[in-house]
Amino acid sequence: MIRVLGIETSCDETAASVVALNDDGSREILSNEILSQIAAHAPYGGVVPEIAARHHVEALDKIVASALEKARLKLKDLDGIAVAAGPGLIGGLIVGATTAKTLALVANKPFIAVNHLEAHALTARLTHAVGFPFLLLLASGGHTALVAARDVGSYVRLGSTLDDAIGEAFDKAAKLLGLPYPGGPSVEKAAERGDPERFDLPRPLLGRPGCDFSLSGLKTALRLACERIAPLTGTDISDLCASFQAAIVDVVDDRTRHALRAIVELGHKPIALVVAGGVAANGPLRLALSRIAAESGVKFIAPPLDLCGDNAAMIAWAGIERLRRNMTDDLTAPARARWPLGEEIERSHRTA
Average of per-residue pLDDT across 1-21: 96
Q: What is the pLDDT of residues 215-229, one digit of tens each?
A: 999 999 999 999 999
Contact 218, 205 (CB under 8 A): no
Averaged pLDDT score across all residues of the chain: 94
> What pLDDT sits at residue 142?
86
Domain shared by 298 and 313, yes or no: no
What is the C-alpha to C-alpha distance for residues 254 and 62, in angstroms, rounded to an integer? 44
| Residue scoring higher pLDDT (90 or 38) | 90
Mean pLDDT of the region 179-196: 96
Look at 47-51, 249-253, 290-294 and tell me which has the smallest mean pLDDT.
Answer: 47-51
Residues 6+ apart with CB under 8 A from 68: 5, 16, 18, 31, 74, 75
CA–CA gap between residue 326 and residue 257 (Å, rounded)? 35
Specify whether 266 is located in the same domain as 281: yes
Are the C-beta atoms of residues 281 and 185 closer than 8 Å to each other? Answer: yes
Q: How many domains is the chain built from? A: 2
What pTM was estimated for this model as a whole? 0.93
Give the C-alpha distances (Å, rounded to integers) separating 159 from 71, 90, 108, 185, 285: 39, 25, 40, 25, 18
Q: Are residues 42 and 107 in the same domain?
A: yes
pLDDT digits (tens, 9 = 90+) for 289-323: 999 999 999 999 999 999 998 999 999 999 999 99
Shared-domain flag, residues 293 and 179: yes
Q: State what percent of residues in the chain have pLDDT above 70.
A: 97
Q: Bridge partners of 115?
A: 86
Between CA 19 and CA 196 the distance in angstroms is: 41
> In terms of domains, do 277 and 228 share one?
yes
pLDDT for 346 beyond 80: no
pLDDT of residue 148: 97
The pLDDT value recorded for residue 302 is 95
pLDDT category of residue 345 using cuts at 50, 70 and 90: low
User: Residue 139 — φ and ψ, nearest 5°?
Assistant: -135, 110
Q: Residue 350 pLDDT > 80, yes or no?
A: no
Looking at the structure, tell me whether residues 267 and 321 fall in a common domain. Answer: no
Do 293 and 313 have their domain in common? no
Claim to verify: residue 119 and residue 138 sit in the same structural domain? no
What pLDDT is attached to residue 348? 37
For 41-55, 156-170, 225-239, which range has the lowest pLDDT when averaged over its residues? Answer: 41-55
Say yes or no: 234 and 314 in one domain. Answer: no
Cα 306 from Cα 296, distance rounded (Å): 27
Bridge partners for 297 per DSSP: none
Same domain, 260 and 316: no
pLDDT at 106 (0 to 100): 97
Mean pLDDT of 108-112: 98
Helix (H) or strand (E) holding 131, with range, is: none
Range of the domain at 26: 2-125+309-340
Pairing state between β 299-301 and 13-21: unpaired
Query: Are residues 250 and 318 located together in one domain of the fold?
Result: no
- Residues above pLDDT 90, as percent of the chain: 89
- CATH code, domain with 114: 3.30.420.40
| Span 96-117, average pLDDT | 97
pLDDT class of 352 with cuts at 50, 70, 90: very low
* Residue 47 and residue 142 in one domain: no
> What is the mean predicted confidence (pLDDT) over 71-77?
98
CA-CA-CA-CA torsion sign (126, 128, 132, 138): negative
